[in-house]
Structure 1
Amino acid sequence: MRARRGKTLTEADIALWRQVARSVKPLPGRAPVEPEPAPEQAVPLATDAAMRAVATALPVKAASPAAPPLAPIERRLRTQLRRGQQSVDASIDLHGMRQDEAHLALHAFLRREQRRGCRIALVVTGKGALAPALFGDERGVLRRMVPHWLRLPELRTLVLGFEEAEQRHGGSGALYVRLRRLREHGP
């Protein structure tokens, strides 16, 4: 099997493609396309003793649970925020912070507000300087990085979803962050 532009696919690429092709549901009225069969290769059989030696040498790692998915803020809640019928429970302003400071401050803020029972938080990142960047300096770094941070698995246990704030709360220089409820562990 060859890829575009004359590149040859590796065996791992081919195996991945076959796995994906088996999981795809064809469009209505179309017959399923069977992936090309894998070429038969002679696989040496491992002895029972060799299998046990490998099994004992490899550490068993428990599968970590997947990070919960993000969901957009519902239209009704967004409308209530826009009209002022729903207020923002807490806010943090990250202006003037370096990336590492802002990341730590954001993480601590979200944890604290989740424990307090906060539902909607406002994270102000700023829009970046209006002047053009000089000598390759980046403008609006936090504006770009905060959404990336909110998607990370470490914050997914805190964040249910986020969207750009309404103009009255900062517009493109701020984000509404909906926090997950803190689960109480009962007896």
Structure 2
Amino acid sequence: LYDTAAAPPPPPAGRSPPRAWGRRAPEAARPPIAPRAQPAPEELEPGRKRRLTRERDPIEARIDLHGFGRFEAEDQLRGFLIGCQMRGLRSVLVITGQGRRGGGIIRASVHEWLTGPDLRGVVSGFAPAHRRHGGDGALYVTLKGR
């Protein structure tokens, strides 16, 4: 009729076989735990940008990236923003310069740097600066709390 020494039937596809209580799956069998995703920085809200433009909210620090190469400027910016956040600052001015005929490498790359994974836990938003603060060659950057 049926053989009692035969192996148990395989588990249905997509399910793992039952395991003994108290035993954990080996490290290689466990799915990796993804870190909590940080939302990407957004455009500053109009009221906040207006207060920064009119200097009702102070610009607490500035960095000028003129004269740096692309990779050096990225490192300087990252270190500056992380340092400002650690000191509890909330709004800073990043001066990139306009580049020759409006096409600077740093100016073109800064948006990518600010929205990248390295600075997602630091930057809450950014917007182009007012003309008196550098216009198209500068950005207001707001920072998250510590």
Could you tell me the TM-score, scaled by structure 2's length? 0.78
Percent identical pairs in the alignment equals 40
1:57-110 Cα shifts (integer Å, max 9, x gaps): 544311221122423222222222222322211010111111111111111000
Give the RMSD, CA atoms, in angstroms: 2.4
Residue 119 of structure 2 is aligned to residue 147 of structure 1: no
**Between Structure 1 and Structure 2, which shows a larger proportion of strand residues?**
2
Matches within 5 A, 1:40-55: 47-48=10-11, 51=16
Which residues of structure 1 form unaligned runs of 5+? Answer: 1-45, 132-138, 183-187
Q: Which residue pairs with 1:126 in the alignment?
A: 97
| Structure of greater relative contact order (alpha carbons < 8 Å, 6+ residues apart) | 2
- Residues 124-181 of structure 1, C-alpha deviation per residue, up to 9 Å, x if partnerless? 11100139xxxxxxx4010010111100122010000001111011011111000000
Query: What is the one-letter code of the residue matched to 2:123?
Result: V
Structure 1 residue runs of 4 or more that deviate by more than 3 Å after TM superposition: 55-59
Match of 1:85 in 2: 56
Aligned length: 128
State the TM-score, normalizing by the size of structure 1. Answer: 0.62
User: Higher helix share goes to which structure?
Assistant: 1
For 1:81 and 1:119, locate their aligned partners in 2 and report how far apart those are by CA, in whole Å.
11
Residue ranges of structure 2 left out of the alignment (5+ in a row)? 1-8, 18-24
5 Å matches for 1:4-83? 47-48=10-11, 51=16, 58-83=29-54
Mapped to 1, the partners of 2:40 and 2:135 lie a distance apart of 25
